[in-house]
Amino acid sequence: MTKDFLKAFGIVIRDQIIMKNSVEVSRLGTFKSVHHSQKQEKRADGKTVMLPPKDAIEFTAEQKG
């Protein structure tokens, strides 16, 4: 695979994830956007902080078999 192909491939995946679509790559797996709600976290020093909501990319590998 060339660098140009990999760059274009990454752009396609990024654009689809931004539009909240999942991307399935045959024999590799699926990329999708996952929303994480706001949550509280207690730090080692005893302080409690609020973590803002965020979207993350999740990859699930295709099952071989």
pLDDT tens by residue, 47-63:
999 999 999 999 999 98
- The answer to whether the CB of 49 falls within 8 A of the CB of 40 is yes
Q: Decide the pairing of beta strands 29-36 and 54-61.
A: antiparallel
**Quick one: tokens of 27?**
């024999």
Q: CA–CA separation, 50 vs 19, rounded Å?
A: 27
How confident is residue 64, by pLDDT bands cut at 50, 70 and 90? confident
Domains in the chain, CATH or no CATH each: 3-61 (4.10.520.10)
Instruction: List pLDDT tens digits, range 15-50.
Output: 999 999 999 999 999 999 999 999 999 999 999 999
Residue 23, Cβ neighbours under 10 Å: how many?
A: 19
